[in-house]
Amino acid sequence: MSEEKNDLIDVQINGEWHSFPKGTRMIEACRQVGVEVPHYCYHPKLTSPGNCRMCLVEMGMPPRPRPGDDPPEPDETGHLPISWIPRPAIACANTIAPNMGIRTESEMTEECREGVMELLLANHPLDCPICDQAGECSLQEFSVEHGKGESRFREQKVKKPKNVDVGPRIRLDDERCIMCSRCIRFTDEIADDPVLGFTDRGSHTVLTVYPGRELANNYSLNTVDICPVGALTSNDFRFQMRVWFMKETKTIDVNCATGANITVFARENKIYRITPRQNNDVNSDWMPDSHRLNFHWIESDARLTDPLVRDGDKHRLATWQEAIATTADKLAGLDGSEIAVIASARMTNEELLMTSRLVKHLGAGHVDVVPREGENDGYLIAADRNPNTNGVMLVLGLENPGSQLEAIKDGIAQGRIKALLCLQENLVEDAGFGSELLSKLDFFLTSYPLANPTADIADVVLPGACWAEKTGTMVNVTGRLQRLNKAVDGPGQTLEAWEIIRDLIQATGGGNGIYSATDIFKQLAAEVPEFADLSWGQIGDLGIPLIETGETIPLLEREKERIEKGLIVG
């Protein structure tokens, strides 16, 4: 108790005393008690050069008596009087001290902010109508609060390069840049690809790429997110949609087992962009470009929109009832050992629970998922490119996902397996199942969001929802349970995989009354020991640790080191 007390420091913020741990930055102390200090260059995950000067605040300390004078007397609350320093201090790079006073609403602070804003805006172009950052621009926001409303600058504005290609995915506008250096620090400290820097001096300073190099690393688009103005913009999102039109959905990335927390921005059922969402236990503030941009296929022409049933050599459109009834018919005469189910580690836990029920119900002799192994990139991308392999092990009960695939291939080749249900997987392209092998089957059902060579061979093709169109939970590489939220509606007649499997179970004779993914989660909590007593709401937006896997995320480990060294706030 006493030890804890010793680590806390009393600081007065806008007249009220609060306690903070030793070493807290002034700006963080203010934030913790709900006092906003405007800033541009400061970012908790990067070092603080303190160069934008926007976070200047009035600061005071107890007076130091001259030798021989009486020391100051504490007041009735036990705090010493504060003598205010006539010079402002930056809140981002200074840490708090005992009995310190901070004023963020004083006349001097306001004058400082107005002065900084006026200088920042002096050369800033009137680009807001064409600038992608408009609507989420710190410069816009703070100029509303602290700007003058008109310019006293009568001279010609400094002209700088506009619309510069700095990399394959990024466009730079130097006139908009306010020289906060966040992008420079990010590429240097986080992405280990220091290609950006400032050249020239004074008001002619420009952000440039090192000659002959480009900003091309797989984390480059994070610089667009942290750019407080519209200097760095994404080529992919350029002029696509104004930010205020879009609906934000908090969900998770499914391109690898890390399960980076993301926000999906959509308008009228179309996804326009994806940005990382802060989760210090998963992806910090960042995400790889390759994952961020992997959403355009959702709108592809190859999306399956209706159930298809084979009619001779071709497929014809069918209703869900017909497709499900056909499947039930074909499966009816078969023994369990003649049926194989290949599910996907891209499915949610809820979908996997339904799959395990279907497997039990059919008595299917073979169950597996398709593994996807890649390389860990040393930052955020996990070696396992399936988002929910841990869920497969917990919910579907597979001890070694992928180990059964060869046995299933053999079974089909030898004619022991007569029916194959492929749920949310692409067997031909991703699992090495030959078209000839699959055509040996008496009955082959596939469900996938996109038309593919696997679907060409199938007897029944069911349109499945993709990750952005479904709700559920997944367990990431570190064993964290996270929620996937539906951002847009699926096209046409698509259904989420759990709905498809529920209908399959019902059609093959079993009844159940499941109407939502959260219903299944309740059953998951009742049936799977690791999920015991968990509720949907408990998971929250940031997820909760579920199991210990012993895996770590390299970027987070480095971040922890940097926090310990005091380089960053974290």
Strands (E), 54-157: 56-61, 83-84, 89-90, 100-103
Query: What is d(CA 64, CA 66) in angstroms, rounded to the nearest whole number?
Result: 7
Q: How far is the CB of 284 from another protein (least distance, A)?
A: 32
Contact status, residue 278 vs residue 239, Cβ threshold 8 Å:
no
Rounded Cα distance, 264 and 292, in Å: 10
Q: How far is the CB of 120 from another protein (least distance, A)?
A: 19
Taking the least distance from each CB to another protein, the nearer of 177 and 340 is 177
Backbone angles phi, psi at 252, to 5 degrees: -130, 155
Q: Which is nearer to another protein, 125 or 434 (CB)?
A: 125
Could you tell me the smallest distance in angstroms from the CB atom of residue 175 to another protein? 9
Decide if 406 contacts 370 (C-beta within 8 A).
no
**Cα–Cα dist 508/119, whole Å:** 72
Least distance from another protein to the Cβ atom of residue 198, Å: 23
Nearer to another protein, 99 or 234 (CB): 234
Q: Contact at 8 Å (CB) between 125 and 160?
A: no
Considering the complex, state which of residue 127 and residue 322 has its C-beta at the smaller distance from another protein.
127
When the beta carbons of 273 and 346 are compared against another protein, the nearer one is 273
Closer residue to another protein in complex, CB, 173/530: 173
**CB 155, min distance to another protein, A:** 11
Amino acid at position 116, single letter: V
- Smallest distance, Å, CB 156 to another protein? 7
For the bound state, the minimum distance from the C-beta of residue 206 to another protein, rounded and expressed in Å, comes to 17
Residue (245 or 297) nearer to another protein, CB: 245
50-54, long-range: CB < 8 A, 24+ apart: 50/90, 50/92, 50/93, 51/179, 51/180, 51/181, 52/116, 52/178, 52/179, 52/180, 53/90, 53/112, 53/116, 54/113, 54/116, 54/117, 54/120, 54/142
Distances in Å between the Cα of 288 and the Cα atoms of 121, 222, 412 are 33, 8, 39
Q: Which DSSP state fits 358?
A: H
* Complex with another protein: residue 95 or 235, whichever CB lies closer: 235
Query: 79: which DSSP letter?
Result: P
Instruction: Write out the residues near another protein by the rule CB under 8 A.
Output: 125-126, 128-130, 134, 156-157, 162-163, 238-240, 242, 244-245
Sequence-ordered list of residues with C-beta below 8 angstroms from that of 15, at least 6 positions apart, any chain: none
The answer to whether the beta carbons of residues 209 and 111 sit under 8 Å apart is no
Minimum separation from the CB atom of position 234 to another protein (A): 13
- Report the residue number, 269 or 403, with the smaller CB distance to another protein: 269
Q: How far is the CB of 170 from another protein (least distance, A)?
A: 15
